[in-house]
């Protein structure tokens, strides 16, 4: 039986953390990113929702959910990174050092100067859809590679924005490798949320694009009288979302930043295993990566994200699929008075983990190390909505991936 595993990151380094955070999301960047995003037609801040009754049940001060299921029409945060990266790419092609408006980007002048471009991305669903959406808004083309087993619903959502979709006979990591080769041969511009040797600027822009989400959340928390979260639970595939959050809060609050809990699927726990090995470098996670958390099904950490998480994130969790499924059901069937939230597998896993931490006696050591209590304000990111309707119904309606009876948890050394 699969178990939930956790470890404390012994490699946290305060000085390196501060340097990596500033390099990733410099203090002036979030405001620039938000100015760009606010110009996109139909763009608006997503809501921050309070699970007040659940917080009372768990005996914590508050549980706050940044609900990215309502981001534009995409039901995912990923559009934030893809759109900002494409914006920066076009600026570079135009030789523009300053900021450009969205109207200028879509103007005939810009179209004539940059020509017709094809943006390419490998994805397990949401990132590719975000790139396709941004490309369509800028009247450019997109080609998206997806791994074997990607659901028809996810591929259909990408195609709905006019992109070509190609299925690679392999994992997400195989799709990343394949698109590198094909893009070079065909003159496509790769917009990836993970980096490799000689390719770092675009993934960094993607991660900076995510800062809009955290800037909104922090503004919304302050608006309801909460100065900052005490804990942030962050789902991770290659680690870009998690590292963006960590960098944002470290730059904003320094050593007073929240505690960070990085959550991965047990079947794709590349960051967890890299921390457990403890040699300070990222390792590939072997296996088929066959988790229901399609958005987190990644075997290689993003090297840029790894450096931030290695130096800054205090806790790492690797959890079975049933933890994510439990989180989906908790969002879909809330306590009376709490809001109903539509959350997919990758979006709900952090709530599932929080529920295990607060309710399982075997996890008391982790709960105590985290210091979760009446003064705690916990921030969760619902990173996606119902992106795979058939599977969503299987989990929420039919109880697929139920928590096994007698399940146990363990702490790994690290």
The catalytic residues are 78, 124
Residue that the structure tokens 């195609």 belong to? 159
Residue that the structure tokens 């190609």 belong to? 166
As to burial, measured by CB atoms within 10 angstroms (0-12 exposed, 13-18 middle, 19+ buried), residue 16 is middle
Pair of tokens at residue 203: 């993934």
Question: CB–CB of 194/300 below 8 Å?
Answer: yes
Q: Parallel, antiparallel, or unpaired for β 164-168 and 141-147? A: parallel
Least Cα distance to 326 among 407, 271, 268, 270 occurs for: 407
Q: Which residues pair with 62 in a beta bridge?
A: 377
Question: CB–CB of 80/37 below 8 Å?
Answer: yes
For the chain, give percent helix, strand, coil, nearest 5: 50, 15, 35
Backbone angles phi, psi at 30, to 5 degrees: -55, -40
Q: What is the Cα–Cα distance from 371 to 261, expressed in whole angstroms?
A: 12
Q: How far is CA 51 from each of CA 58, 95, 184, 306, 328, rounded to the nearest angstrom?
A: 11, 47, 47, 31, 14
Pair of tokens at residue 106: 């879509």
Task: Provide Rg for the chain, Cα atoms.
Answer: 20
Backbone angles phi, psi at 378, to 5 degrees: -100, 125
Backbone angles phi, psi at 46, to 5 degrees: -80, 155
Backbone angles phi, psi at 20, to 5 degrees: -65, -40
As to burial, measured by CB atoms within 10 angstroms (0-12 exposed, 13-18 middle, 19+ buried), residue 104 is middle
Q: How far is CA 354 from each of CA 43, 54, 60, 233, 328, rounded to the nearest angstrom?
A: 30, 11, 11, 8, 13
User: Would you give the distance in Å from CA 238 to the centre of its chain?
Assistant: 9
Pair of tokens at residue 354: 């929080």
Pair of tokens at residue 189: 């511009």
Question: CB–CB of 140/117 below 8 Å?
Answer: yes
In the chain the first and final C-alpha atoms are separated, in Å, by 22
């Amino acid at each position: 039986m699969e178990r939930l595993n956790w470890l404390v990151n012994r490699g946290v380094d305060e000085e390196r953390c501060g340097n990596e955070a500033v390099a990733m999301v410099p203090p002036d960047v979030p405001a620039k990113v938000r100015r760009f995003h606010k110009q996109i037609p139909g763009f608006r801040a997503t809501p921050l929702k309070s699970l007040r009754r659940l917080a009372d049940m768990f005996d914590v001060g508050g549980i706050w959910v940044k609900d990215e299921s309502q981001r534009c029409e995409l039901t995912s945060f990923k559009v934030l990174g893809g759109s900002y990266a494409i914006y920066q790419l076009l600026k570079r092609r135009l030789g523009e050092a300053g900021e450009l408006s969205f109207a200028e980007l879509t103007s005939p002048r810009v179209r004539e100067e940059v020509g017709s471009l094809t943006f390419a991305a490998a994805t397990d669903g949401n990132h590719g859809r975000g790139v396709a959406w941004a490309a369509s808004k800028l009247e450019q083309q997109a080609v998206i590679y997806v791994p074997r087993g990607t659901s028809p619903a996810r591929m259909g959502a990408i195609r709905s924005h006019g992109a070509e979709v190609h299925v690679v006979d392999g994992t997400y990591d195989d799709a990343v490798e394949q698109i590198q080769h094909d893009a070079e041969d065909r003159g496509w511009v790769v917009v990836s949320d993970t980096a490799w040797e000689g390719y770092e600027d675009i993934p960094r822009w993607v991660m900076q694009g995510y800062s809009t989400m955290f800037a909104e959340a922090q503004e919304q928390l302050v608006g309801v009288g909460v100065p900052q979260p005490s804990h942030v639970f962050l789902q991770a595939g290659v680690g870009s979302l998690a590292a963006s959050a960590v960098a944002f809060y470290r730059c904003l609050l320094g050593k007073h930043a929240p505690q960070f809990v990085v959550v991965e699927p047990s079947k794709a726990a590349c960051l967890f295993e890299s921390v457990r090995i403890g040699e300070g470098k990222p390792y590939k996670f072997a296996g088929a990566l066959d988790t229901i958390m399609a958005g987190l099904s990644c075997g290689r950490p993003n090297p840029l994200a790894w450096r931030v998480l290695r130096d800054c994130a205090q806790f790492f969790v690797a959890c079975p699929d049933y933890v994510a499924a439990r989180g989906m059901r908790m969002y879909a069937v809330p306590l009376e008075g709490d809001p109903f939230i539509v959350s997919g597998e990758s979006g709900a896993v952090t709530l599932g983990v929080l529920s295990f931490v607060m309710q399982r006696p075997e996890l008391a050591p982790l709960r105590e190390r985290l210091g979760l209590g009446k003064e705690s304000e916990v921030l969760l990111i619902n990173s996606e909505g119902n992106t795979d309707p058939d599977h969503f119904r299987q989990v929420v309606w039919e109880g697929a991936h139920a928590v096994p009876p007698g399940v146990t948890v363990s702490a790994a050394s690290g």
